[in-house]
Amino acid sequence: MDRSYWRTVALVTLWQVSASICYYTVFAATTFFRDAFGLARVSVGFVVTALTLGYAVWLLPAGALIDRFGERRSLVLGLVGLATGATLVAGAPSYALLLAAAFVLGSAYATAIPGTNKAIYDAITEGRQNLALGIKQVGVTAGSGISALLVTGLAGVLFWQAGFLIATGVAVVVALLFAVCYEESGDGDGTGYLDFRALSRNRPYRVLVAAGFFLGAALFTTTGYTVLYVEEAVGASAAFGGVVLALVQLFGSVGRVVGGWLSDNLPGDPDVRIGAILIVQSLGSAALFLVVAATATVRGAVVAFSALGFFVLGNTGVYYSYMATLVSSDEMGGATAAGQLSLVAGSIVSPPAFGYLADAAGYRASWWLLAAGTVLAAGLLSYAVRLEPPVDEPAMSE
């Protein structure tokens, strides 16, 4: 692979790492929010909801703007916005302002997936795109794992806001580096916006987006409640919970790279082979939610959550690779935004529901809820794979 390939992948992945460090600080800090503001579990869930609601509100506008004007300026501004949001969360003096700051942070993160996916599919040649996407998606789990260690580790040494402030500094530095070094290769010519109505007539894409609701619910709720579950149900410290969350992210990163490699190298039609990989990942997630629900020891939690991370966090790269077999390259930014919106919609509904069930019936019922959702996602994906993609020249082909 040539130098330009690795230069693009490295820059986009670095951007994703720094953006995810900022965004996922909120997930890592749930136990500290509870202590600092005297919150019940369901109120902790609403902090995650405010974060993801801001993300959801801005996803479609961000995707349309990126398709029209290109990803470079959008990603630079997005990272500056993330740095601002992380600072606001760290300085929030009340629960109401914490919710508002989380909304701002989530809004800035809306540039991430549409912009970085467009960069990959514009700049990387066919046959290399899925691996590049999988590597780029490692930036999400790597950033989340780093944020978990920053927030939980520094809280015991300094104060719980310290991790947020370091994340802010990293984001500013990377935004400057990206602005100087990234060479945009997409059109971004300002000639028009994506026709979302036309996109909605794409049947397999619609089914994939519906499955994304349940995949997003599983992913974001897992990352949002891992630290709290390990602390309360397993009886470990918050710092150890942060280590477990970091392992979830680490194994999720491995799952994303493996999924990307398999998507490039397995035989068969791209939509069928990649859809099949996503189905296996969904069913694996469901089985491991049941295992996590029955886990009550420290060692068991490490093993179960690590394996769960491989599947439930490892499927997002494959999700977008499958999407690229269903839409054209000109639609990729907006299609990615709509697909990500579905993931986020699940994350808005699921964390409070998970917290309510944990309060009312215990954590086992909460994990069973996520297992049922991922089984339903697998069923929808099985149906989508049987539908004929309507796009003559998809963003990704043989």
Instruction: Express as a percent the part of the chain with pLDDT over 90.
Output: 25
The HSE-up count of residue 276 (CA atoms within 13 Å, CB side) is 9
8-state DSSP, 128: T
Per-residue pLDDT for 33 more than 60? yes
What's the pLDDT score for residue 7?
78
For 321-356, write each residue's pLDDT tens digit.
888 888 876 677 677 778 888 887 887 788 888 888
Amino acid at 352: P
Better pLDDT: 170 or 235? 170
For 165-205, write each residue's pLDDT tens digit.
999 999 999 999 888 887 766 555 444 555 566 677 788 98
Rounded-to-integer distance, Cα 355 and Cα 44, Å: 8
- Cα dist from 203 to 26, 66, 301, 309, whole Å: 35, 24, 40, 30
What's the pLDDT score for residue 3?
64
Per-residue pLDDT for 159 more than 90? no
Structure tokens at 344: 């986020």
Better pLDDT: 223 or 20? 20
Rounded-to-integer distance, Cα 353 and Cα 337, Å: 25
What's the pLDDT score for residue 195?
59
Structure tokens at 101: 């700051």
Q: What is the mean pLDDT of residues 102-118?
A: 88
Per-residue pLDDT for 398 more than 70? no
| Mean predicted lDDT score pLDDT of the chain | 83
Rounded-to-integer distance, Cα 102 and Cα 89, Å: 6
Better pLDDT: 88 or 115? 88
Q: Which of 63-72, 155-164, 186-195, 310-319 has the highest mean pLDDT?
A: 310-319
- Residue 121 banded pLDDT, cuts 50, 70, 90: confident
For 221-233, write each residue's pLDDT tens digit.
898 788 888 888 8
Q: Considering only CA atoms, which of 133, 126, 119 is closest in space to residue 397? A: 126
What's the pLDDT score for residue 305?
93
Rounded-to-integer distance, Cα 277 and Cα 154, Å: 38
For 248-269, write each residue's pLDDT tens digit.
878 888 888 888 888 877 887 8
What's the pLDDT score for residue 186?
53
For 266-299, write each residue's pLDDT tens digit.
887 888 889 999 999 999 999 999 999 988 888 8
What's the pLDDT score for residue 191?
47
What domains are defined for the chain? Answer: 3-184+194-385 (1.20.1250.20)
**Cβ neighbours, 10 Å, residue 322:** 31
